[in-house]
Amino acid sequence: MKALKLIVPMVLALACAKGDANNSGTASSSSNTASGQSVDLTGAGATFPYPIYSKWFSDYAQKTGVRINYQSIGSGGGIRQLSEETVDFGASDSPMSDAELAGAKGGTVLHFPTVLGADVITYNLPGVTTALKFTPAVIADIFSGRIKKWNDARIASLNAGIALPAQDILVVHRSDGSGTTYIFTDYLSTAVPSWKASVGKGKDVKWPVGLGAKGNEGVSGQVKQTPGSIGYVELAYAKQNGLPIAAIRNQSGQFVAASVEAVTAAAAGAAKALPANTDYRISIVDAPGAGSYPISSFTWILVYQNQRDPVKGKKLVDFLNWALTDGEKEAVTLDYAPLPADMATTVKARLATINLSGAK
Amino acid sequence: MTSLPVEWLEKDRRKLRVDASAFSDKAYEIVTAACALVVPTLVVAIAVAIFVAAWPAFSKLGFSIITSSDWDVAAGHFGAAPALFGTLVSSAVALIIATPLAIGIAVFLSEFSPLWLRQPIGFLVDLLAAVPSVVYGLWGIFVLIPILRQHVMPFLRDTLHLGATPLFTGPAYGPSMLAAGIILAIMALPYISSVSREVLMAVPRSQREAALALGATRWEMIRDAVIPYAKSGIIGGIMLGLGRALGETMAVTMVIGNRAEISASLFAPGYTMASLIANQFSEATNDLHLSALMAVGAILFVITLIVNAIARWLVWTVSRNRAA
DSSP A216-231: HHHHHHHHHHSTTEEE
User: How many residue pairs from chains A and B have C-beta atoms closer than 8 A?
Assistant: 94
What are the distances in angstroms from CA A103 to CA A178, A298, B93? 22, 23, 45
Cβ within 8 Å, pair A210-B259: yes
Cβ within 8 Å, pair A175-B174: no
A79 interfacial to chain B (CB closer than 8 Å): yes
Cβ within 8 Å, pair A75-B73: no
A43 has which bridge partners? A70, A89
pTM of the model: 0.81
Are B283 and A176 contacting, i.e. CB atoms less than 8 angstroms apart?
A: yes
Cβ within 8 Å, pair B75-A74: no
pLDDT per position as a tens digit, A296-345: 999 999 999 999 889 899 999 999 999 999 999 999 998 899 999 889 99
Rounded-to-integer distance, Cα A80 and Cα A62, Å: 30
Burial annotation A323-336 (CB, 10 A radius, 16+ → b, else e):
bbeebbebbeeebb
Give the total residue count for chain A.
360
Q: Provide the CB-side half-sphere exposure for B264 (13 A, CA).
A: 7
Which chain B residues contact residue A221 at CB under 8 A? 141-142
pLDDT at A287 over 80: yes
> How many Cβ atoms sit within 10 Å of the Cβ of residue A359?
9
A200 interfacial to chain B (CB closer than 8 Å): yes
Cβ within 8 Å, pair A168-B72: no
Rounded-to-integer distance, Cα A212 and Cα B243, Å: 25
Strands A247-249 and A133-134: parallel
A230 has which bridge partners? A123, A171
Indicate which of A186, A203, A217, A224 best probes the interface with B, i.e. most B CBs within 10 Å of its own CB: A203
Model pLDDT, residue A276: 79
B146 interfacial to chain A (CB closer than 8 Å): yes
Nearest CB neighbour to A206, from listed B71, B253, B254 = B71
Closest-CA distance, B74 to chain A, in angstroms, reads 6
Cβ within 8 Å, pair B284-A177: yes
Q: Which helix (H) or strand (E) holds B181?
A: helix B177-201
Rounded-to-integer distance, Cα A289 and Cα A66, Å: 40
Are A142 and A169 contacting, i.e. CB atoms less than 8 angstroms apart?
A: yes
Rounded-to-integer distance, Cα A136 and Cα A148, Å: 16
In this structure, what DSSP letter does residue A306 have? Answer: B
Nearest CB neighbour to B173, from listed A75, A76, A211 = A211
Closest-CA distance, A150 to chain B, in angstroms, reads 16
> Per residue of chain B (324 residues), what is the pLDDT tens digit?
445 556 666 666 666 666 667 788 889 999 999 999 999 999 999 999 999 999 999 999 989 999 999 998 888 899 999 999 999 999 999 999 999 999 999 999 998 999 899 999 999 999 999 999 999 999 999 999 999 999 999 899 888 888 888 888 888 888 999 999 999 999 999 999 999 999 999 999 998 999 999 999 999 999 999 998 898 889 989 998 999 999 899 999 999 999 998 999 999 999 999 999 999 987 887 889 999 999 999 999 999 888 888 888 888 887 777 654
3-state secondary structure of B322: helix
Cβ within 8 Å, pair B280-A204: yes
Cβ within 8 Å, pair A204-B253: no
pLDDT per position as a tens digit, A22-71: 343 333 333 343 444 455 899 999 888 998 999 999 999 999 999 999 99
B 171-200 residues inside an 8 A Cβ radius of A = 171, 173-175
Nearest CB neighbour to B283, from listed A76, A206, A225 = A76
pLDDT at A358 over 80: no
Rounded-to-integer distance, Cα A357 and Cα A163, Å: 66
Nearest C-alpha in B relative to A229: B173
Nearest CB neighbour to B283, from listed A178, A206, A218 = A178
